[in-house]
């Protein structure tokens, strides 16, 4: 058992820390660019339910339109972060149409992680939600899986138990350093 832990330690140390010296001793100057952008995405939630006793399955098709600030970090293993604000246009086959204004942040270096605060509304009530997500991608787009957590106890809007989506920037504006 001790040999197994030693072997796992050696492998994980090589995987996680082997590239660090090359990033810090790079022969070229590392460059950081900041650019505002318009991002568009499509998300699908095939399992939504309301807050009643009976489970009602429905499908949700979500079109995302946001304005973001993309920061790209150059290097051998580049990374990026995105701050964004915008809205989701949600079409649900059981509840009809509603919107979800939101703000969020995303960080990625091959693996993308982020969270967003949504305010889903059918123009009669507003329901706040938090959605953390995990996926793959970078500043050129991401494929993610997320889950909406409701912040109010009683609500009648559907709850996305699993949301899968793709987001890409369609227009990047002038970059700055």
Q: Is 94 domain-assigned?
A: yes
Q: What is the tens place of the pLDDT at every residue in 151-171?
A: 876 666 666 667 889 998 998
Q: Is 64 domain-assigned?
A: yes
Please give the tally of structural domains in the chain. 1
CA 174 from chain centre, in angstroms, equals: 24
Q: Is 1 domain-assigned?
A: no
Q: Residue written as tokens 């790209």?
A: 72
Q: Is 9 domain-assigned?
A: no
Q: Is 2 domain-assigned?
A: no
- DSSP codes of every residue in 122-140: -SS-EEEEEEEEEEEEETT
Predicted pLDDT of residue 84:
94
Q: Is the pLDDT of residue 115 over 90?
A: yes
Predicted pLDDT of residue 66:
94
Q: Is 4 domain-assigned?
A: no
Which residues lie below 8 Å from residue 62, measured CB to CB, with a gap of 6+? 41, 42, 43, 44, 45, 88, 89, 90, 91, 100, 163, 165
How does residue 172 score in pLDDT terms, banded at 50, 70 and 90? confident
Range of the domain at 77: 28-172
Lowest mean pLDDT among 9-18, 96-105, 117-126, 136-145: 9-18
Predicted pLDDT of residue 147:
86
Q: Is 12 domain-assigned?
A: no
* SS3 at position 7: helix
3-state secondary structure 84-119: EEEEEEEEECCCEEEEEEEEEEEEECEEEEEEEEEE
Q: What is the tens place of the pLDDT at every residue in 53-106?
A: 555 557 788 999 999 999 888 776 778 899 999 999 988 777 778 898 999 999
Q: d(Cα 59, Cα 145) in Å, to the nearest integer? A: 16
């Amino acid at each position: 058992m001790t040999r197994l832990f030693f072997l796992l330690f050696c492998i994980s140390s090589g995987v996680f820390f082997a590239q660090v010296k090359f990033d810090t001793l790079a022969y070229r100057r590392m460059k950081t660019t900041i650019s505002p952008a318009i991002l568009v995405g499509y998300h699908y939630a095939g399992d939504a339910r309301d807050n009643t006793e009976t489970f009602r399955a429905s499908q949700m098709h979500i079109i995302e339109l946001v304005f973001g600030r993309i920061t790209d970090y150059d290097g051998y293993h580049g990374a990026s972060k995105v701050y964004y604000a915008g809205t989701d246009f949600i079409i649900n086959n059981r509840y009809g149409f509603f919107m979800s204004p939101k703000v969020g942040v995303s960080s990625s270096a091959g693996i993308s992680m982020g969270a967003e605060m949504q305010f889903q509304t059918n123009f009669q009530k507003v329901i706040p939600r938090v959605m953390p997500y995990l996926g793959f991608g970078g500043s050129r787009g991401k494929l993610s899986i997320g889950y909406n957590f409701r912040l109010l106890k009683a609500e009648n809007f559907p709850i996305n138990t699993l949301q899968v989506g793709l987001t890409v920037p369609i227009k990047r504006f002038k970059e700055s350093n």
